[in-house]
């Protein structure tokens, strides 16, 4: 068999670790503009109180901007904390 006819071997596929579930799947029928629903908005915050990024929330850019505005409004009204206590493992 010549070198031209030899088929290249397929490289072993590397399995990626499973990703964390996106938050949008758990959103349900809640409105992103409802700043009074703190329980739903907490799902979009990290352990330290930061707003989760789009790649983690699964929202579109427009939805993410609306969510950020809603969370900031809830923080100003005292419904959500600005920061959480840092939990060290």
Local confidence pLDDT in tens for the 89 residues of the chain: 566 666 666 667 777 777 676 776 556 678 888 999 999 999 999 989 999 999 999 999 999 999 999 999 999 999 999 988 776 76
Spatial separation of the C-alpha atoms in residues 31 and 21, rounded to whole Å: 20
Which SS3 state, helix, strand or coil, does residue 45 take? strand
Domain boundaries, the chain: 24-76
Q: In Å, how far are 19, 21, 65, 77 from 70, measured between CA atoms?
A: 27, 22, 9, 11
pTM summary value: 0.69
Its CATH class, for the domain covering 24-76, is: few secondary structures
């Amino acid at each position: 068999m010549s070198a031209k006819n030899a088929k290249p071997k397929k490289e072993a596929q590397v399995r990626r670790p499973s990703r964390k579930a996106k938050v949008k799947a758990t959103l349900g029928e809640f409105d992103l503009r409802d700043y009074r629903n703190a329980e739903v908005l907490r799902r979009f915050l990290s352990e330290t109180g930061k707003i989760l990024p789009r790649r983690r929330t699964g929202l579109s850019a427009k939805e993410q901007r609306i969510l950020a505005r809603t969370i900031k409004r809830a923080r100003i009204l005292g419904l959500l904390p600005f920061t959480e206590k840092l939990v060290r493992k």
